[in-house]
């Protein structure tokens, strides 16, 4: 609760409520206090103790908070109820509608200095912005949520920190995203703050940046940790809905503490709903590993599962990224036509500021498919587009491979000098110091 209002403000509030209820100063004071004390308090000439305010609140039939800070009774509980409703709307895939609700809740929570509710609304706005691809807005919301929670423990701050890291990652800032996530993981594990939800959120979120940077061993390990923690985050939708209904009933009956407890459970369960996106990324990681090991049938199964899960959560950008990986496996299994259709379908979800690495992957694969079909012009166009996207994102390993493909294409079409330039560019990216090197791995959880 925020610091109490000034004595003058509290005094006027007490006088207004007393007059509204037709009580005299004597009736309000007795038996614990005198009419003179109430008169002095209403005039703002004395700072009432908590004990005195609780007595007066009881006589007036209002909550202590309402006297101390002017907050309507059960306001915080009511806000939490509406926050869980906004979470449900977002979980249903209605990001714009949820954002409108979160905006109202943020303003209301800020006006009444409700720190945790304010931070929760900012987190919700950030998640809505991620869903709709507004990465700058998302990052700003997550940064503001972290500021509101600056004096809280790291597990409490992890959702905001993770959101900020994901916004940087999707904008193509891979190394900084990894730095944020690894720093938090290391602090949690070394400090003994083994919060399963926080760890799951961080491990699942770091897989994508690891993969795009070529740190495949770390990505595989993070996926295994995430999947080991996942059983603690089952499908919570029905239970969350039940807790929301119970909370409404309890709140209507004036049982605010019990309603708060029920709402806390519902909010946690709705938060876990968003983990379905993260768990889908773990299946994507498994599919990638299987593909690298030549287990293409199993890789296709894992990637199809990831794609289906992400389609169900309406996480458009993540779904499109999984689609690119799935298309690669389909192509390798001889299903090039299906792969090309899938890639053309999702390319519109990407841009140079949004999913650049996977957009480049889509163009690269379409170039390969075009080459197989002897459409040299289309292949070159796709490779050049991919090259531009990768240079912006700084994905050195992918750049080197793409330059090789482009150089081979130039060589086959008789453009020897252009081929040499492409090969030299690729070698430069391959040997650039520090492009994929990471520091020591973060400490591991006690699984």
Host H or E run for residue 426: helix 416-431
User: Can you tell me which residue has the tokens 């209820």?
Assistant: 21
CB burial of residue 235 (10 Å; 0-12, 13-18, 19+): exposed
Q: What pLDDT is stored for residue 287 in this prediction?
A: 80
CB 142 within 8 A of CB 164: yes
Give the separation between CA 158 and CA 156, rounded to whole angstroms: 6
CB 99 within 8 A of CB 128: yes
Q: How many CB atoms lie within 10 A of CB 19?
A: 10
- Of 102, 112, 107, which is closest to residue 74 (Cα–Cα)? 112
Tokens of 352: 């140079």
Give the separation between CA 144 and CA 159, rounded to whole angstroms: 12
**Rounded-to-5 percentages of helix, strand, coil across the chain:** 75, 0, 20
Give the separation between CA 62 and CA 74, rounded to whole angstroms: 10
Four-residue CA torsion sign, 290, 296, 297, 301: positive
Q: What pLDDT is stored for residue 262 in this prediction?
A: 66
Q: What pLDDT is stored for residue 67 in this prediction?
A: 81
Q: What pLDDT is stored for residue 432 in this prediction?
A: 44
Give the separation between CA 35 and CA 25, rounded to whole angstroms: 5
- φ/ψ bin of 434: left (φ > 0), alpha (ψ from -120 to 50), beta (otherwise): left
Residues of the chain with pLDDT under 70: 1-3, 71-74, 91-93, 193, 227, 230-279, 281, 289, 313-317, 351-355, 393-397, 429-441, 446-447
| Rg over CA atoms, the chain | 28
Q: What pLDDT is stored for residue 309 in this prediction?
A: 81
């Amino acid at each position: 609760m925020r610091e109490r209002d000034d004595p003058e403000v509290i005094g006027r509030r007490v006088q207004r409520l007393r007059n509204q209820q037709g009580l005299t100063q004597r009736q309000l004071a007795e038996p614990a206090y005198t009419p003179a004390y109430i008169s002095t308090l209403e005039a703002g000439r004395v700072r009432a103790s908590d004990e005195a305010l609780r007595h007066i609140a009881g006589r007036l039939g209002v909550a202590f908070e309402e006297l101390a800070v002017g907050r309507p009774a059960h306001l915080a509980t009511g806000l939490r109820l509406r926050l869980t409703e906004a979470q449900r709307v977002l979980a249903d895939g209605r990001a714009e509608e949820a954002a409108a609700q979160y905006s109202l809740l943020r303003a209301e929570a800020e006006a009444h200095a409700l720190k945790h509710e304010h931070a929760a609304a900012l987190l919700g706005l950030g998640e809505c912005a991620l869903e709709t691809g507004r990465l700058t807005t998302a990052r700003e919301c997550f940064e503001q949520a972290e500021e509101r929670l600056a004096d809280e423990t790291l597990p409490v701050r992890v959702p905001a920190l993770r959101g900020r890291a994901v916004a940087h990652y999707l904008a193509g800032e891979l190394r900084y995203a990894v730095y944020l996530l690894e720093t938090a993981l290391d602090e949690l594990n070394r400090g003994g703050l083994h919060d399963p939800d926080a760890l799951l959120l961080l491990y699942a979120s770091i897989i994508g940046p690891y993969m795009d940077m070529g740190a495949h061993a770390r990505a595989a390990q993070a996926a295994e940790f995430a999947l080991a923690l996942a059983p603690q985050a089952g499908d919570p939708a029905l239970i969350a809905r039940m807790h929301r209904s119970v909370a409404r009933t309890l709140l209507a009956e004036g049982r605010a503490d019990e309603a708060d407890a029920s709402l806390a459970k519902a909010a946690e369960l709705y938060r876990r709903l968003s983990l379905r996106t993260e768990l889908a990324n773990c299946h994507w990681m498994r599919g990638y590993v299987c593909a690298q090991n030549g287990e293409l049938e199993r890789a296709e199964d894992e990637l199809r599962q990831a794609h289906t899960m992400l389609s169900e959560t309406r996480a458009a950008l993540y779904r499109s990224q999984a689609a690119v990986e799935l298309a690669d496996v389909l192509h390798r299994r001889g299903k090039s036509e299906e792969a090309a259709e899938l890639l053309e379908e999702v390319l519109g979800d990407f841009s140079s500021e949004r999913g650049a690495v996977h957009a480049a992957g889509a163009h690269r694969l379409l170039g390969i498919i075009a080459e197989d079909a002897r459409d040299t012009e289309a292949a070159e166009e796709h490779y050049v587009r991919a090259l531009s996207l990768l240079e912006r994102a700084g994905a050195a390993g992918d750049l080197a491979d793409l330059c090789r493909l482009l150089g081979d294409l130039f060589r086959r079409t008789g453009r020897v000098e252009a081929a040499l330039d492409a090969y030299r560019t690729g070698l430069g990216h391959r040997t650039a110091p520090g492009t994929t090197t990471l520091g020591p791995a973060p400490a591991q959880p006690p699984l």
